[in-house]
Amino acid sequence: MRFHALSLLLILCCVCLAATQVSYDDCCLKYVRKLSRGTQKHAIAYKIQKADGGCNISALVFIMKRGRMICANPNETWAVTLKENLDAKSAKQIPRDSRKLRPLSRKG
């Protein structure tokens, strides 16, 4: 009887440990202090990590050209500036005047 209870307890512990490790796979655990301007030029996008049930810290996660992800403190001046630059760059790619975009008419 003791063997079964001990086995069950061991299996339960392993399942709980595996479940907690899975939830932190995509979370930043620490920040980089600073990125050089040359490295900042390789940033193509960002995402916001919130400190909630899955992650322990809030972060700006910058995605670089080759897919590397860099975690930054969202309160750092350089990180906010880089985020704003990426927002401005993506806003330029969206056409401002939608009147120039007309549907093709079919002649029938």
Would you list the DSSP string of 13-61?
A: HHHHHHHHHHHTTT---S--S---HHHHTTEEEEEEE--SSS-SS-EEE
Please give the Cα distance from 13 to 8 (Å, whole number): 9
DSSP 76: S
Please tell me the predicted confidence (pLDDT) of residue 102: 58
pTM of the model: 0.63
pLDDT digits (tens, 9 = 90+) for 7-43: 666 676 555 555 555 455 689 999 999 999 999 999 9
pLDDT digits (tens, 9 = 90+) for 34-79: 999 999 999 999 999 999 878 999 999 999 999 999 999 999 999 9
Domains of the chain and CATH, by start: 27-94 (2.40.50.40)
Q: Which two tokens stand for residue 32?
A: 């980089």
pLDDT digits (tens, 9 = 90+) for 90-99: 888 766 565 5
